[in-house]
Amino acid sequence: MKTNKSFAKRMRVTRKGKIVARVPGHNHFNAKESGVGRMRRRRGNDIQMTQQDRSRFLPN
């Protein structure tokens, strides 16, 4: 099965194997957001995936 490249570009795998994705909704309209809200979105989110989903959506 081919890797879903559009999905894979939004993820990255850390050294320990965790999958980290960017927090959605952070492209524009950030001036209204509180400072705490902006800081919270700077961090990536850990994503829980099964092994089957990993092989389907992420490259080897």
| Residue 21: predicted pLDDT | 84
Say what the pTM is: 0.55
Q: Give Dmax over CA atoms of the chain in angstroms.
A: 43
Q: What average pLDDT does this structure show over 18-36?
A: 83
Q: How far apart are CA 19 and CA 2, in angstroms?
A: 19
For the chain, the domains span 5-55
Q: What average pLDDT does this structure show over 5-12?
A: 83
Q: Is the pLDDT of residue 31 over 80?
A: yes
Which run of H or E residues covers position 44?
A: none
Q: Is the pLDDT of residue 34 over 70?
A: yes
Contact 20, 43 (CB under 8 A): no
